[in-house]
Amino acid sequence: MQIATRQFADTWVATPAGRVDHLSAPQFENELARLVTQASGGSGSLVLDFSDVEYISSSGLRALMIVATQMRSQQGKLVVSGLYSVVAEIFAISRFDRVLTVAPTLEDALGQCSAAALAAYRQSAAAP
């Protein structure tokens, strides 16, 4: 599993790719713990862009719940975006789409986090 990260103003974006299953969940959880620390340092937010995630198992859902709890305890926001096909179905069946804040796109997720993050994202997208 690969996880790309970037920052837009006060919001960190993690973009995992591949499968989040029992083999990759520990790496996923460790990377997210690092990002929670970075995001909470500035009272920021964390967006998980799942547009490249093919599958998530119960181990991956457990990691998400841990991160959500940590972000809530630090008054930070956690938004998941880009759920497609199988992953969206897994979120619906497990009701994670009701437990976590889910946005259809990365842009929508950044808008839910902060105006500064959305502006920084739009500026980076417009840059040549």
Alpha carbon of 22 to those of 1, 26, 118, 121: distances in Å?
Answer: 11, 8, 33, 32
pLDDT for 84 equals 87
pLDDT for 18 equals 94
Query: Rounded to whole angstroms, how far apart are CA atoms 40 and 20?
Result: 24
Radius of gyration of the chain (CA): 14
> Of 97, 46, 94, 95, nearest to 70 (Cα)?
46
Token pair belonging to 26: 């520990």
pLDDT for 2 equals 87
Q: What pLDDT, in 10s, does the model give residues 74-111? A: 888 999 999 988 999 999 999 999 999 999 999 999 99
pLDDT for 41 equals 65
Which ranges of the chain have pLDDT less than 50?
A: none
pTM, to two decimals: 0.93
Domains of the chain: 2-126 (3.30.750.24)
Query: Rounded to whole angstroms, how far apart are CA atoms 38 and 54?
Result: 26
